[in-house]
Amino acid sequence: MAYVRPTETVDETNFLASSHFISFPRQVDSTSYAVKIDDRGHKVIPAGTVFPTNDASAEGVTFDEVDVTYGAQPVGVIVEGYIFGKKLPVEPATAAITALKKITFVDETTQG
């Protein structure tokens, strides 16, 4: 018996400016401010989301997209590294940038 599924195209943006980063696991759920509903009706938190909130209480940036439709899930949160801030789904707020002391946000124009 064969199962056939339609072809699915995934569009991912690389927001890492360097291969050096440090991440720690955290729990996220559907109460997050960043939850989006995808094409399949699933509740997802996009990769590159400022975690847990995009303000002075920011701890890091999510590394992967995570599906929280059926409950809380673990996600890697980058706490140190170099990130293209303009490539994130939502640019980090000034207060979040200040709070994320070990993350350096760079723009494409700063590349040599």
pTM of the model: 0.85
Domains in the chain (CATH in brackets) are 17-107 (2.40.300)
Average pLDDT across the chain, whole number: 91
pLDDT value of position 4: 78
DSSP β-ladder status, 36-37 and 103-106: unpaired
Q: Which among 88, 75, 4, 7 has a CA at the least distance from the CA of 44?
A: 75
DSSP state of 103: E
**Continuous segment of H or E residues that includes residue 98:** helix 94-99
Within 10 Å of residue 61's Cβ, how many Cβ atoms? 27
75-100 tens-digit pLDDT: 999 999 999 999 999 999 999 999 99
